């Protein structure tokens, strides 16, 4: 999905913010109503007809939730099952109908075609958020609120399109009791900082990496990439996806803070993970929480023995992969991560590696575990990004050297015995003319990729720099260790100037419309 960032930054958001503090300053109700109205404008800007879907979904789930908590004639479990089924049917039609029909056609040879369906923005996010709400209503953990508060909870524009997936207990109490249309300059300072850092991640890093990623994954359908090309492109996409999605999450956290609302952290340096289990505690944290609390645990979790536990993990990760997109590449990506987790659990059960390494750190072991985890994640991302299975297999064949390993001509005399042909090809996109520019793209981008890898592996993340915990609360005694605390963010004038400078540079780097990768999910 393409979103005009200039319109958002210079028109929509300022109007929304000014309206919140002027119109909403009268009562809390008017503040909430204004936020809901602005969120509908934000959502309907791209395709107004889909306002019917989100409004219908909100009304349906609100009244089903009320019915769950008040009905005396029908068991709450039946109402819950009905509500979840309707939500799954909605997302199933818009997101998976074409996928299922195409597979039925393929396996049965029955000629049945379904017209392409435009996917409503954020349907996966607001549907999962409301399924969690219904489950919480059934478990009687939802506190009293009215329809207006619920509407604002679901449609709150900073997180509506691409998350985080906010639990009702994190946002509804703020809307009901804590929200205020009085300006809090501390919240403004935090919001400006986190938003500007998120925007910088997106426009200065993710968008610039895309120039290497898109041509590479497009070319793989027609040519065999060289070994180093494939690894370079895979690493570039690994970084692009992280800076794009974590940047959006930071922007959402910052935007919410302008209104005095705290939403949870969604990333915690996932590429520093020392295991796949650790990775999923750090990557898309709110989705991991949803899958654990509303799918894995209801399936039985680890309460019914090792075999059932492994089955539950596999089901959870397969469905988690399918949640990201209607395609076998996403299913395989989820299944591959499920396999990783099973191996991780088995390894821990026989070695207790992570426990030992944390209590008595062994640097080499930690480095090796981090590198192994990172490589496993990079390999899985190939399925996530590829257009189809054939492209993914071709791409991985190049990464594993099955298509041969080409080296620059300067190394011919040293490594000639390692090549699969007598003449060494120079590493460049477009061997055979697929790319007219014939630029050594991996060579041009290698310093940037190497630097960004160092950033994600060794630099503090945004919440560490801010001294922010998982809920968004600031604690200046936490975050950066030792001497690094001197550079921790503080609500001071010098930091505000730096934030404005970063924001200005990031805005100038915007080129018309900017694509957020997770909008398609």
Does residue 3 surpass a pLDDT of 50? Answer: no
The answer to whether the pTM exceeds 0.85 is yes
How close are the terminal C-alpha atoms of the chain, in Å? 10
pLDDT at 2: 40
Give me the mean pLDDT over the 69-97 stretch. Answer: 93
Residue 40, Cα to own-chain centre: how many angstroms?
22
Residue 246, Cα to own-chain centre: how many angstroms?
7
Residue 98, Cα to own-chain centre: how many angstroms?
24
Banded pLDDT at 408 (limits 50, 70, 90): low
Q: Identify the residue with better confidence: 23 or 172.
A: 172
Q: Residue 255: name the closest of 195, 210, 213 by CA.
A: 195
Asked, as a colleague might, if the bond just before 147 is cis with ω within 30 of 0, I would say no
Does residue 213 surpass a pLDDT of 60? Answer: yes
Q: CA 19, CA 181: separation in Å to the nearest integer?
A: 10
pLDDT at 495: 79
Residue 95 has φ and ψ, to the nearest 5°, of -100, -30
pLDDT at 432: 34
Give me the mean pLDDT over the 344-371 stretch. Answer: 74
Q: CA 302, CA 348: separation in Å to the nearest integer?
A: 15
Query: What CA–CA distances, in Å, run from 108 to 100, 103, 115, 328?
Result: 12, 8, 19, 18
Q: Identify the residue with better confidence: 333 or 423.
A: 333
Quote the longest CA-to-CA distance of the chain.
84
Does residue 439 surpass a pLDDT of 50? Answer: no
Opening angle at CA 326, ends 396 and 264, nearest 5: 95
- Reduced to 3 states, what is the DSSP secondary structure of residue 234? helix
Burial class (CB in 10 A: 0-12, 13-18, 19+), 515: middle
Banded pLDDT at 431 (limits 50, 70, 90): very low
pLDDT at 25: 62
Residue 385 has φ and ψ, to the nearest 5°, of -95, -25
Give me the mean pLDDT over the 40-65 stretch. Answer: 92
Q: Residue 516: name the closest of 257, 207, 209 by CA.
A: 207
Q: CA 146, CA 150: separation in Å to the nearest integer?
A: 6
User: Helices 227-258 and 185-200 sit at what angle, rounded to 10 degrees?
Assistant: 160
Helix (H) or strand (E) holding 453: helix 441-458
Banded pLDDT at 512 (limits 50, 70, 90): low
Does residue 50 surpass a pLDDT of 70? Answer: yes
Q: CA 200, CA 247: separation in Å to the nearest integer?
A: 8
Banded pLDDT at 484 (limits 50, 70, 90): low
pLDDT at 509: 82
Residue 499 has φ and ψ, to the nearest 5°, of -65, -45
Does residue 219 surpass a pLDDT of 70? Answer: yes
Query: What CA–CA distances, in Å, run from 70 to 59, 65, 321, 490?
Result: 17, 9, 35, 48
Residues 294/277, Cβ–Cβ less than 8 Å: no
Cα dihedral 218, 206, 156, 472, rounded to 10, equals 140
pLDDT at 77: 93
CA atoms within 13 A on the CB side of 109: 0
* Helix, strand, coil abundance in the chain, percent, nearest 5: 70, 0, 30
Catalytically active residues are 324
Q: pLDDT tens digits for 379-389?
A: 999 999 999 99
How many residues does the structure list for the chain?
A: 521
Mean per-residue pLDDT of the chain: 83
Lowest mean pLDDT among 112-126, 295-309, 504-518: 504-518
Give me the mean pLDDT over the 201-215 stretch. Answer: 89
Give me the mean pLDDT over the 64-91 stretch. Answer: 94
> How many distinct helices (H) and strands (E) make up the chain?
24, 2
Banded pLDDT at 424 (limits 50, 70, 90): very low
How many other CB atoms are found less than 10 A from the CB of residue 271?
A: 20
Does residue 420 surpass a pLDDT of 70? Answer: no
Does residue 170 surpass a pLDDT of 80? Answer: yes
Residue 13 has φ and ψ, to the nearest 5°, of -65, -45
Banded pLDDT at 118 (limits 50, 70, 90): confident
109: region left, alpha or beta (phi > 0 left; psi from -120 to 50 alpha): left
pLDDT at 24: 66
Query: What CA–CA distances, in Å, run from 25 to 149, 182, 263, 313?
Result: 17, 7, 22, 48
Helix residue ranges, H only, 45-112: 51-70, 76-91, 97-108
Q: CA 344, CA 353: separation in Å to the nearest integer?
A: 10
Q: Residue 392: name the closest of 221, 239, 213 by CA.
A: 221
Query: What CA–CA distances, in Å, run from 247 to 61, 64, 206, 281?
Result: 30, 35, 9, 18
Residues 328/248, Cβ–Cβ less than 8 Å: no
Cα dihedral 129, 131, 137, 138, rounded to 10, equals -150
């Amino acid at each position: 999905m393409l979103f005009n960032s200039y319109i958002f930054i210079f028109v929509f958001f300022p109007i929304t913010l000014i309206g919140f503090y002027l119109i909403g300053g009268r009562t809390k109700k008017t503040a909430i109503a204004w936020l809901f109205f602005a969120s509908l404008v934000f959502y309907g800007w791209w395709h107004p007809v889909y306002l019917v879907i989100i409004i219908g979904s909100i009304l349906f789930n609100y009244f089903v939730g009320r019915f769950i908590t008040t009905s005396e004639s029908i068991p709450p479990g039946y109402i819950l099952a009905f509500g979840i089924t309707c939500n799954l049917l909605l997302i199933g039609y818009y997101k998976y109908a074409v996928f299922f029909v195409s597979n039925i056609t393929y396996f049965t040879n029955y000629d049945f075609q379904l017209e392409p369906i435009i996917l409503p923005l954020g349907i996966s996010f607001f549907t999962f958020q409301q399924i969690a709400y219904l489950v919480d209503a059934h478990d009687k953990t939802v506190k009293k609120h009215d329809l207006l508060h619920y509407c604002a909870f679901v449609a709150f524009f900073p997180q509506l399109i691409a998350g985080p997936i906010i639990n009702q207990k994190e946002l509804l109490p703020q809307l009901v009791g804590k929200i205020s249309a009085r300006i809090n300059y501390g919240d403004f300072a935090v919001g400006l900082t986190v938003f500007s850092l998120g925007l910088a991640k997106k426009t200065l890093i993710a968008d610039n990496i895309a120039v290497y990623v898109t041509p590479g994954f497009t070319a793989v359908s027609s040519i065999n990439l060289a070994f180093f090309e494939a690894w370079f492109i895979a690493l570039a996409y690994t970084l692009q996806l992280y800076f794009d999605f974590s940047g959006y999450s930071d922007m959402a956290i910052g935007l919410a803070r302008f209104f005095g609302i705290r939403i949870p952290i969604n990333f915690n340096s996932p590429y520093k993970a020392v295991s796949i289990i650790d990775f999923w505690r750090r990557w898309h944290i709110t989705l991991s929480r949803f899958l654990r609390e509303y799918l894995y645990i209801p399936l039985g979790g680890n309460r019914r023995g090792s075999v059932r536990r492994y089955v539950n993990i596999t089901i959870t990760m397969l469905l988690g992969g399918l949640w990201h997109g209607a395609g076998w590449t996403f299913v395989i990506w989820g299944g591959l991560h499920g396999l990783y987790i099973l191996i991780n659990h088995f390894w821990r059960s026989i070695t207790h590696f992570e426990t030992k390494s944390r209590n008595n750190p062994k640097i080499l072991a930690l480095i090796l575990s981090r590198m192994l985890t990172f490589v496993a994640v990079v390999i899985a991302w190939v399925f996530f990004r590829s257009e189809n299975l054939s492209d993914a297999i071709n791409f991985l064949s190049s990464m594993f050297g099955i298509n041969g390993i080409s080296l620059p001509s300067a190394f011919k005399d040293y490594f000639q015995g390692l090549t699969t042909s007598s003449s060494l090809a120079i590493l460049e996109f477009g061997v055979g003319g697929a790319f007219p520019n014939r630029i050594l793209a991996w060579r041009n981008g290698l310093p940037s990729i190497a630097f960004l890898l160092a950033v994600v592996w060794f630099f503090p993340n945004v919440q560490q720099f801010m001294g922010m915990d998982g809920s968004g609360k600031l604690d200046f005694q936490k975050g950066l260790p030792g001497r690094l605390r001197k550079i921790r963010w503080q609500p001071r004038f010098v930091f505000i100037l730096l934030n404005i400078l970063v924001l200005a540079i990031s805005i100038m780097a915007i080129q018309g419309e900017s694509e957020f990768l997770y909008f398609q999910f």
